[in-house]
């Protein structure tokens, strides 16, 4: 497989948006649509996909059915979409794995080419939060950095597994703070939470929606939100970037389809998704989960994929992380 070139990906994605003649737009959709979620039911991506699918169903006049296909670091679901017809009836609820990080983590065995997925629109940014066990003697990000500098290697940070957003976020924090902290991979966020509560690991950077109940109960201590702006779900919490300039570990979630899907269908999906995400009721539901709903054009999302790919490629290479 040829080396992954994000700029060629953008070029290919934008060319695929050129009009295709002869398509009867009013015929789409005329049957139910499948939205593939490449994770097991119950997680943040699954919850968000189900909220979005409800609104899309109403806007499109057809059922949008969530289909969970977990496995392979989100590649199983992505490969299913890539191997489906390019007709707009199989959508992918896309997280950073399929196009942004897995091409660098799984160079030898990614079961599709990244440019075989075409972005429709951003759905949301999913803020992560830096949390620590209360026994760690730090109340700010800077105090944590100072403690880690005095105790190199003694801060253990847990993640949902090698290559997971929580892993790469920790590696980004380690590199930008210039500290030595030790990665402990788990098989899922639930195990990280339990060991963080018990003190077997001292730190994690993961979805605010996961950790919010433990922060509010005082079982865990939040030091900063891992995106540049504050979250409506926890407005009192400052961004980590207040202490580490330009720190941003915010995963982006977006909708994509198989490359080659007619541009009129992509435009229709984009129009209805933008309208769905503008619904104040949906925005309120997403805000309460700690999400930042924000739609985009296909072109803007394609550019964001390039920017994020370049950032995480460097983190992955510096850390030596691999899923091969």
Q: Which of 125, 128, 127 is nearest to 277 (CA)?
A: 125
Classify residue 1: in a domain, yes or no: no
Classify residue 324: in a domain, yes or no: no
pLDDT digits (tens), the chain, 324 positions: 445 565 555 555 555 554 443 444 558 999 999 999 998 887 788 989 999 999 999 999 999 999 999 988 899 999 999 999 999 999 999 999 999 999 999 987 899 999 999 999 999 999 999 999 999 999 999 999 999 999 999 999 999 888 889 999 999 999 999 999 999 999 888 899 999 999 999 999 998 988 999 999 999 999 999 999 998 889 999 999 999 999 999 999 999 999 999 999 999 999 999 999 999 999 999 988 888 999 999 999 999 999 999 999 999 999 888 886
E-strand stretches of 133-279: 156-159, 182-185, 203-207, 221-225, 252-258
Same domain, 60 and 142: no
Same domain, 88 and 26: yes
**Residue span of the structural domain in which 121 resides:** 6-125+251-319
Same domain, 107 and 184: no
Same domain, 57 and 72: yes
Q: Which of 277, 265, 260, 258 is nearest to 53 (CA)?
A: 277
Same domain, 112 and 156: no
Same domain, 121 and 29: yes
Is residue 10 within 8 A of residue 302, CB to CB? The reply is yes
Same domain, 215 and 263: no
Tell me the Ramachandran region of residue 178: left when phi exceeds 0, alpha when psi lies from -120 to 50, beta otherwise. Answer: left
CATH number for the domain harbouring residue 166: 3.40.190.10
Look at residue 12 in the predicted model and tell me its pLDDT.
54
Look at residue 2 in the predicted model and tell me its pLDDT.
46
Domain end residue (candidates: 182, 211, 242): 242
Token duo for residue 127: 């803020």
Classify residue 276: in a domain, yes or no: yes
Q: How far apart are CA 177 and CA 166, in angstroms?
A: 16
Classify residue 212: in a domain, yes or no: yes
Q: Which of 64, 65, 62, 126 is nearest to 94 (CA)?
A: 126
Classify residue 67: in a domain, yes or no: yes
Domain end residue (candidates: 221, 242, 263): 242
Collapsed DSSP state (helix, strand, coil) of residue 182: strand
Same domain, 236 and 256: no
Q: Which of 250, 240, 245, 248 is nearest to 144 (CA)?
A: 240
Look at residue 23 in the predicted model and tell me its pLDDT.
44
Count: domains in the chain? 2
Look at residue 160 in the predicted model and tell me its pLDDT.
87
Look at residue 1 in the predicted model and tell me its pLDDT.
43
Same domain, 94 and 17: yes
Same domain, 19 and 118: yes
Q: Which of 135, 131, 93, 92 is nearest to 209 (CA)?
A: 131
CATH number for the domain harbouring residue 288: 3.40.190.150
Same domain, 83 and 137: no
In the block, tokens 């109940």 appear at 213
Angle between helices 280-288 and 263-277 (to 10 degrees): 70
Classify residue 184: in a domain, yes or no: yes
Domain end residue (candidates: 242, 276, 295): 242
């Amino acid at each position: 497989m040829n080396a992954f070139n994000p700029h060629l990906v953008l070029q290919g994605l934008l060319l695929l948006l050129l009009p295709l003649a002869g398509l009867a737009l009013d015929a789409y959709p005329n049957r139910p649509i499948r939205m593939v979620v490449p994770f097991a039911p119950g997680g943040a991506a699954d919850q968000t996909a189900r909220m979005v699918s409800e609104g899309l169903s109403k806007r499109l006049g057809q059922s949008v059915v969530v289909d969970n296909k977990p496995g392979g670091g989100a590649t199983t679901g992505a490969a299913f979409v890539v191997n489906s017809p390019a007709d707009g009836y199989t959508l992918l609820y896309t997280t950073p794995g399929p196009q942004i990080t897995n091409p660098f983590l799984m160079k030898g065995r990614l079961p599709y080419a990244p440019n075989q997925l075409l972005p429709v629109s951003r759905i949301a940014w999913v803020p992560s939060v830096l949390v620590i066990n209360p026994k760690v003697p730090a109340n700010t990000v800077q105090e944590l950095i100072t403690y880690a500098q005095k105790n190199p290697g003694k801060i253990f940070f847990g993640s949902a597994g090698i290559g997971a957003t929580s892993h790469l976020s920790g590696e980004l924090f380690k590199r930008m703070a210039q500290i030595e902290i030790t990665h402990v991979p788990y098989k899922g966020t639930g195990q990280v939470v339990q060991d963080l509560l018990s003190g077997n690991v001292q730190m994690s950077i993961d979805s605010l929606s996961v950790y919010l109940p433990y922060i509010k109960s005082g079982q865990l201590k939040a030091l900063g939100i891992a995106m540049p702006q504050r979250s409506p779900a926890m407005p009192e919490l400052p961004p980590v970037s207040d202490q580490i300039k330009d720190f941003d570990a915010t995963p982006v979630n977006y909708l994509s389809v198989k490359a080659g899907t007619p541009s009129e269908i992509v435009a229709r999906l984009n129009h209805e998704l933008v309208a769905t995400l503008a619904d104040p009721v949906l925005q309120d539901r997403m805000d309460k989960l700690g999400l930042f709903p924000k739609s985009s054009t296909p072109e803007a999302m394609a550019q964001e994929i390039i920017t994020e790919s370049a950032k995480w490629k460097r983190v992955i290479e510096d850390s030596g992380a691999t899923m091969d």
